[in-house]
Amino acid sequence: MDAEATEKALGTSNFDENGDFLQRNKVADVTHKERLADDNIADKDLPIDNFKKPRMLRNSAKSRITSRHVNPLFLLLRMVFEMLLLRRLCFLLVLTDFVSAYQQKFAIEPQDQSAVIGSRVTLPCRVVHKAGQLQWTKDDFGLGTHRHLMGYERYKMIGSDEEGDYSLDIRDVTIDDDALYQCQVSTGPKGEAAIRSKSARLTVLVPPEPPKILKGPVLEAVEDSEVMLECVSVGGKPAAEITWVDNDGGVFSQGVTYTVEQMSDGRRFIARSQLRLRPRRHHHEQTYTCQAQNTADRAYRAATVKLKHQGETAICSVNKTRKT
């Protein structure tokens, strides 16, 4: 009878000798639901399988409530950390720019140039925040650190220290000035990094000597037999361009052979041009001109040949060289 009364009190059909235990679970379930109601948690119908479940649910509820308060704090700390990191990065960037702004660097560097022999040329070099010693090199050989370069009378560093101008001035250019030049600054007293400009090639141009027509002042040839006229231009840099012009100013394009060979100094050239002709009677008293020029001097230097026909023999007389 006591068991039946207990069953009615608990409101369950599952009754056994562990009724006292189920009763305690029932009481715990009621207590747990009341606490959930107090905490505004909607999980009121969760089943209770053992005596420890209410404590686990209470811990879960506390965890949820705590997370609601922790998340905003975590986000705030994260934002503060990111702001501090960003400010640090900005500071490093500004510091880097500040340091690099006061490093030695070139404002103007030398460029490849060409100069005619005997002329004057200036290779520019300007340095900002110069701290080390500056020197020019010629084919990797140092010329010195003073503006008046000892041992190089035709060389001088022009400009002023205030402007950072250390341009190399070369007067009375010779063939030996044809070289590779570079402006260099050594390491500064406070550890400023050494710098080197890009290399600049100075190309010295040399006009060719007046051309000469070989085989003497008179060239005899039998009519209708092939005659070869040879014109030589020596010493040009670059090699001279040679053209043959007839009595009417027409340029020969047929029967012409052109060759170039380097001179012993390894810098200048010898240019040769050969013209092959078959003299006819109508070639009598006609003049043939050999013209030579290069980029150092566009004015033509010329030598002429006059063809004279006498019977079955044609005589070519070589006139003196002239410049046009």
CB 257 within 8 A of CB 274: yes
- Where residue 3 falls (left for φ over 0; alpha for ψ -120 to 50; beta otherwise) is alpha
pLDDT at 12: 45
Beta-carbon contacts of 168 under 8 Å, excluding residues fewer than 6 positions away, are: 110, 122, 123, 125, 136, 143, 155, 156, 157, 158, 181, 183
Of 9-13, 61-65, 69-73, 212-216, which has the strongest mean pLDDT? 212-216
pLDDT at 247: 86
Among 48-52, 106-110, 314-318, the least confident range:
48-52
**How far is it, in rounded angstroms, from Cα 232 to Cα 242?**
9
User: Could you tell me how far CA 203 lies from the centroid of its own chain?
Assistant: 22
For CA atoms 81, 82, 87, 93, the dihedral sign is positive
Nearest 5°: the CA angle 266, 272, 278 is 170
Q: pLDDT tens-digit profile of 75-132?
A: 778 888 888 888 777 666 655 444 455 799 999 999 999 999 999 999 999 999 999 9
Beta-carbon contacts of 12 under 8 Å, excluding residues fewer than 6 positions away, are: 22
Any idea which residue has 């002239």 for tokens?
322
**How far is it, in rounded angstroms, from Cα 285 to Cα 58?**
129
**How far is it, in rounded angstroms, from Cα 1 to Cα 154?**
133
Mean pLDDT value of segment 49-69? 49
For CA atoms 92, 96, 98, 99, the dihedral sign is positive
Is residue 176 pLDDT above 90, yes or no?
yes
Instruction: Write down all domains in the chain, each with its CATH number in brackets.
Output: 1-101 (no CATH), 105-205 (2.60.40.10), 212-323 (2.60.40.10)
Phi, psi of 111 (to 5 degrees): -120, 160
Name the more confident of 59 and 110: 110
The residue type found at 38 is D
CB 130 within 8 A of CB 104: yes
Is residue 173 pLDDT above 70, yes or no?
yes
Give the predicted TM-score (pTM) of the model: 0.64
User: Could you tell me how far CA 106 lies from the centroid of its own chain?
Assistant: 15
Q: pLDDT tens-digit profile of 11-26?
A: 444 444 444 444 544 5
The DSSP secondary-structure symbol of 219 reads E
